[in-house]
Structure 1
């Protein structure tokens, strides 16, 4: 389902996608302004009765998207030609894979995973979904400490990292905990596996790419500190470039939620939640490289409307557990990354996001989509048996899914481009609302 949401004051939009058995996830719906042309993401190993579905939502007509999927034993290249804002789905089951997409116009991506295969959650029906952020720019040499991924690791001690392109050279990634560091190597020519944040690194840390931008995604769930096993969730790990300032608003889904606030020093000094100042003693310090950030974890009381405010820059992560043994995690708001890339060289061509790159050349013939005005019409394309690309027009049902919106008072403002929707802005939400619901009409597409 494609929803268009207009607002005359800033709001946050959170999608709650849960099946009748209680499995599911909550995630931040990104605004139209945050769509991009280049994406990179990795999908974990999926059980034989599960699948991953990656949805592509063009913002403009006549959008061409080149897709490269790197599997364990093969690489699959596809070209999407989207007419009349058609929506495409790439579906795949089985082993882990990494996907790289590059288009000539902005588009959004929604990722859904049904039945993630993990010994830690054996026996649980799992559903995970999120909207990945676009890459700041194409190219392999976009790096630096401003892209370090920062996250609470207490309820999300697994993660994936994806390089910006399959053609990038191998590089190292450093894991920085409170007082311990670790390191691993990334080979972009292989699918990126799920990695574990080791317990000796502590419950908070930084993932530091040494020479290239990384798309970092955390996988929450598994064993909790109380020994309970809960289903996982997927969510983007932010960098400091995605910190916001001002006020954010959200509605708690349950009374079993925690919020981790990560802040710069100026933000820490005047941070408040629900008009209560967060005291100095509640903060912890995280040093990495020549930088310092501060973080605190607060229990959210009451399934109701909440607010967080600071004049400085910060970001808030929400994690929770449902009554049906599912966990979820999301950000109420975050900035889009805008980068002024280095001057292009012969070996490193770089294009800014304001000048979308042309799709890379491919010997694979394009997959053309046709749509009609009938709501249930779909057109399938011929692809290998292990994967499917489909297109769909708008369908009317959203059974099993909800959207929550949090509206800011008229006197509140938020600077920058973030998932807080500005006045008269339009949000493009994917059909992720019905993405993994068993009784959803989209399952007939698969």
Structure 2
């Protein structure tokens, strides 16, 4: 099977069988679909079927699949060079992208940026920077958090199954506090009290290097962090000399109605991690932070062979142009309002919808049994995902109990495709939920 023609003679089922024989079972797959082509918010598979994409590669193609500006930038860079290793022979585009992200980062404190390959690498390096700056070792994260799949970021991740199952032990001096969740009775005061209990029972605050928080929890259920929670976290970190790391891997690059989601809280983080939407489909992540914090690592202490790959950097510069010129932050806000309004209308019909929430174009619908949020309905969420797929719509679930539907639309999705996708979603929900 060496050509696209050969691939087009395959079926999804046949390729799934080959996949099962060739790959370890630990590499999951949400849909039994193999892509051959994609444009904006649509994917075509090996059987020629068209799919509407409400996943965006897990919030990666914010600018849509194969945005013309991004593709043109990639092609231009391919004609120049593909790799030198920035730490060996540098290139101006890396510096230019860092300058642009420094200017976009919230707050007036001078910033510096360096690049890695993945979101997990960005978070891991943010921890390294915080430890170098503070001379401390402890780190606090939150229940329900997801920060990556390396051993350090798994330790930070607040969900065992499937991410941490069988992989321990994990690095020490990592602690978890509650995350605000109004539906389940966890208040901002509860979350902050949880941190105080960690200080009381587990580690002195003077030994804590960093607190790591998502402005909207991703795998945790698309839970937005209340603005006053982030503001009080900022004050707590200032009080104890702790580095505040804001993980914007999934929330950044305009997805939440501003370039960084944390802007809604009006605070200045010490360090921000960014990935996914930044590269427009190319592999790239960034660590952005206050210059004094970022300069704590010794020369040679940061970097990676492929980090800041020139093709990915070229794509990211085009992504920033598209976000600005097409006003995608503003469009994200409108998309979120539209999606949540449609789900609220469905909530009036279906008692299995326990909550509708989100920020910008991150929208979640949490399902329950008997109208009781304490009875999570993973079966409804899974059935909805499967039924929507039968009808040509790709969806993903999340949440500690897997009972939350999350929408990650490309921000460039055409209105007609959005309406078509929602019509499928509503019909699928009616088919699987009935009067539940």
- TM-score interval (norm. to shorter): under 0.3
**Structure in which a larger fraction of residues adopt strand:** 1
**Structure in which a larger fraction of residues adopt helix:** 2
Bigger radius of gyration = 2
Return the structure number with greater relative CO, CA threshold 8 A, min gap 6: 1
TM-score (norm 1): 0.25
